Amino acid sequence: QVQLEESGGGLVQPGGSLRLSCAASGSIFSISTMGWYRQAPGKERELVARISSSGTTNYADVVKGRFTISRDDAKNTVYLQMNSLKPEDTAVYYCNLLHVRFTVVYDYWGQGTQVTVSS
């Protein structure tokens, strides 16, 4: 079984930066796709960024150029560097691990970390 623990959230002023971390237990991290999602009050959860096991990344258009996702397989950790933060980035940010092995789907979520962008 996999457990994901997010950290690094907090209160930051517009234009500021935060770095989120997600540490994973288990042995399948290095072969998994890792993602960051977020959910704001009254809105559906949305994809922020993903990084594959080979290092391929993709981003939501609204964060492209401001956020960077990266992974450290030696530490079983995925990061989200968030720069030039805007109030509309305020949300609970969730870490996700996805791995498909034939018919077996591994899909795990962390508990989330709050990011608040406000002056």
Tell me the pLDDT tens digit for each residue of 21-67: 999 998 999 999 999 999 999 999 999 999 999 999 999 999 999 99
Indicate if the pLDDT at residue 116 is higher than 90.
yes
Residue 1's pLDDT band (cuts 50, 70, 90):
confident
3-state secondary structure of 88: helix
Over residues 83-106, the mean pLDDT reads 97
Residue type, 43: K
| Number of other CB atoms surrounding residue 1 within 10 Å | 6
Residue type, 16: G
Q: Using the predicted structure, report yes or no on whether residue 92 has a pLDDT greater than 90.
A: yes
Cα dihedral: 52, 19, 61, 56 (round 10) = -20
